[in-house]
């Protein structure tokens, strides 16, 4: 009788590391019968991942202090991540090195406010406008003493309250009483756009469709211009005035405005009659807005002392940043590497935040990367589970915000109830359902 026998017999050398400096051998077998209870285990992992995300959510990196009055405006350098220019209410401009968090240069540029600053496309110069009706061009880097003086000073006939530079041409737009287009070399505006007797307080060039620019006016309207044409294109009138405007850097036809009525509105240029989306959550007027370079998200700063981050397709914010000492926000910027958020506020500080609150700064090792990717996938997979959802959504907000949120909720409910009552007691169809998106736009003019 011949017998063939094979029995499991493992040589330990194949499974143990040879020396202490070696890494441990890790044999894997993906047979599902060796990995029971896959569902519940993944659920627990997802729950842990979402808890850890909240534990590590420490978005505040640091503050830049030095201004002796509230920060009125910020400007990003177009090609250097570490450079930031800021202007204050006392007319001072400061340049910062973000890497070392130090001020590299400071000087008084204007009498009264510095209304806005804008870098030229190459980043060699920046232009500032102030309450003293001047538009000054400055050199970014000082080599000799003469460089400290402005390169060029333009005198405007009327007040100037905003500036925005063209993506590539040496053309910039300012706003005030009218929207004016300037060329670097000329002392007179090359073009003036007028529509009514309003005053404009914010202007922004589209960085993709570079001929387009938009401005916010004090008569509650947002006006679109094409700088090749002689007059403005269109305007949309809202219920309350818009404070700031930001173009989506990825979708040229989309822009978002920060409005006084606590909301932000995303518009499509092709159809201004109703916004694409209404972004709610702020509890006071929204002062400034800036898109991330990916175009997927934007940041907004509000008079309620909080910074909120919205996903551009969603109606509610994904995160809210606040500190005890931060006062009313005046300006926000999203850094061009999509990692940081810079905010300037009333109480003289510029703050640096992480764009993703729980992100680890610095280099990630491959295993860390895969672990984070796995956690991300799990969070997404179980995101609809009530426990996971609750933890992921929970944010602590200051008491005044909490109370304001409650108040706004009550008001909204009251209005809803009133409308429902009115609808119930009047002729069918006489009180129509008006969608939220249509409520806030008064009219569109051509």
Partner 1 sequence: MKKKESVRYFDIEENKDDQPKETNQEVKVYKIKPTARLLKANKFKNNKNSTQKRKPTEKEKKFPGKAPINPAKLENYSRGEGFEGKGVKHPLYALKLKKKENKHKYAQKQASRADILLTEDQGFLEVDEDNRTTGITQKVIVDNVDITAATKAFELNLDFGPYQAKYSRNGRHLLLGSNKGHLAAFDWITKKLHFEINVMESIHDISWLHVETMVAAAQKEWLYIYDNTGTEIHCIKRMDKILRMEFLPYHFLLAAVNEFGFMTWLDISIGEIVGHYNNHMGRTPVMTQNPYNATICLGNSRGVVSLWSPNVKKPLAKILCHKTPLTAISVDNRGMYMATSGVDRSLKIWDIRNLDGPLQHYKLRTAPVDLEFSQKEMLAVGLGNIVEVYNNCCSQTAERPYLRHNMGKSMKNFKFCPYEDILGIGTSHGFTSIIVPGSGEPNFDALESNPFQTKKQRKEAEVKALLEKIPAELITLNPNEIMEIDVPSAKDKMEAKKNLLYVKPKKVDFTPRQKKKGKTNIARKKIIKEASRKEFINQVIEAKKILNEPQKENKPKQSFGVLDRFVPQPKSKK
Stretch that binds partner 1, among 39-47, 121-129, 240-248, 336-344 (CB under 8 A): 39-47
Task: Say whether residue 414 binds partner 1 (CB under 8 A).
Answer: no
Asked whether 240 and 232 are in contact (CB, 8 A), the reply is: no
Among 19, 39, 362, 363, binds partner 1 (CB under 8 A): 39
Beta-carbon contacts of residue 402 (< 8 Å; ≥ 6 apart): none
Question: Is 38 one of the binding residues for partner 1 (CB under 8 A)?
Answer: yes
Please say whether the beta carbons of 289 and 299 come within 8 A: yes
Pairing of strands 212-217, 200-205: antiparallel
Cα gap 171→86, rounded to integer Å: 22
| Closest approach of partner 1 to the CB of residue 354, in Å | 25
Which is closer to partner 1, CB of 102 or CB of 406?
A: 406
10 contributes a contact to partner 1 by CB under 8 A: yes
Q: How far apart are CA 330 and CA 233, in angstroms?
A: 29
Give the span between the Cα atoms of 370 and 285, in whole angstroms. 41
Our finding on whether 6 is near partner 1 (CB under 8 A) is yes
Q: Is 107 in the site for partner 1 (CB under 8 A)?
A: no
**Applying CB under 8 A, which of residues 28, 186, 228, 367 lies at the interface with partner 1?**
28
Annotate each residue in 347-386 with x if it binds partner 1 (CB under 8 A) or - if it does not, as one string. Answer: --------------------------------------x-
For residue 296, state whether it binds partner 1 (rule: CB under 8 A).
no
**Any contact of residue 430 with partner 1 (CB under 8 A)?**
no
Q: What 3-state DSSP class applies to 295?
A: coil
Contact between 44 and partner 1 by CB under 8 A: the answer reads yes
Total interface residues for partner 1 by CB under 8 A: 42
29 binds partner 1 per the rule CB under 8 A: yes
The least CB distance from residue 53 to partner 1, in Å, is 15
One residue of 296, 416, 422, 439 binding partner 1 per CB under 8 A: 416
Task: Determine the Cα–Cα distance for residues 368 and 314; give it in Å rounded to an integer.
Answer: 30
How far, in Å, CA of 79 to CA of 116, rounded? 19
Q: How many CB atoms lie within 10 A of CB 12?
A: 6
Phi-psi region of 81 (alpha: psi -120 to 50; beta: other; left: phi over 0): alpha
Q: How far is the CB of 432 from partner 1 (least distance, A)?
A: 16
Give the whole-angstrom CA distance, residue 276 versus residue 244. Answer: 17
Judged by the rule CB under 8 A, the positions of this chain that interact with partner 1 are 1-10, 12, 14-16, 24-45, 48, 385, 413, 416-417, 420
């Amino acid at each position: 009788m011949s017998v063939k026998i094979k029995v499991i017999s493992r040589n330990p050398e194949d499974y143990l590391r040879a020396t202490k400096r070696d890494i441990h051998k890790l044999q894997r077998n993906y047979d599902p019968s060796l990995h029971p209870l896959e569902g519940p285990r993944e659920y627990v992992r997802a729950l842990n991942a979402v808890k850890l995300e909240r534990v590590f959510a420490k978005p505040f990196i640091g503050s830049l202090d030095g201004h002796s009055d509230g920060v009125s405006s910020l400007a990003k350098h177009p090609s250097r991540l570490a450079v930031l220019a800021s202007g204050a209410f006392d007319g001072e401009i400061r340049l910062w090195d973000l890497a070392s968090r130090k001020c590299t240069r400071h000087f008084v540029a204007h009498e009264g406010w510095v209304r806005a600053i804008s870098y030229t496309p190459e980043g060699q110069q920046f232009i500032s406008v102030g309450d003293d009706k001047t538009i000054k061009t400055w050199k970014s880097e000082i080599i000799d003493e003469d460089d400290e003086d402005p390169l060029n000073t333009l005198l405007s006939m009327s007040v100037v309250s905003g500036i925005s530079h063209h993506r590539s041409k040496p053309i910039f737009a300012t706003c005030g009483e009218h929207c004016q287009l300037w060329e670097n070399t000329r002392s007179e505006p090359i073009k003036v756009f007028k529509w009514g007797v309003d005053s404009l307080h914010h202007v922004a060039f589209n960085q993709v469709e570079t001929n387009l620019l938009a401005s916010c006016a004090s008569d509650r309207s947002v006006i679109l211009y094409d700088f090749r044409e002689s007059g403005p294109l269109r305007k949309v009138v809202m219920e309350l005035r818009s404070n700031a405007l930001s173009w989506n850097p990825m979708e040229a036809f989309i822009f978002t405005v920060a409005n006084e009525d606590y909301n932000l509105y995303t518009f499509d240029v092709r159809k201004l009659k109703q916004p694409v989306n209404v972004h709610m959550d702020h509890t006071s007027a929204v002062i400034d807005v800036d898109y991330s370079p990916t175009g997927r998200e934007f940041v907004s700063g509000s008079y309620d002392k909080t910074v909120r981050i919205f996903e551009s397709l969603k109606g509610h914010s994904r995160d809210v940043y606040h500190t005890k000492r931060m006062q009313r926000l005046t300006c926000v910027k999203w850094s061009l590497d999509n990692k940081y958020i810079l905010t300037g506020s009333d109480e003289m500080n510029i703050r640096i935040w992480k764009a993703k609150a729980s992100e680890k700064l610095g280099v990630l090792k491959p295993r860390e990367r895969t672990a984070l990717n796995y956690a991300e996938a799990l969070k997404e997979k179980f995101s609809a589970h009530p426990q996971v959802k609750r933890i992921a959504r929970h944010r602590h907000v200051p008491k005044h915000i909490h109370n304001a949120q409650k108040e706004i909720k009550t008001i909204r409910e009251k209005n809803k109830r009133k409308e429902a009552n009115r609808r119930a007691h009047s002729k069918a169809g006489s009180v129509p359902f008006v969608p939220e998106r249509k409520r806030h736009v008064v009219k569109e003019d051509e």
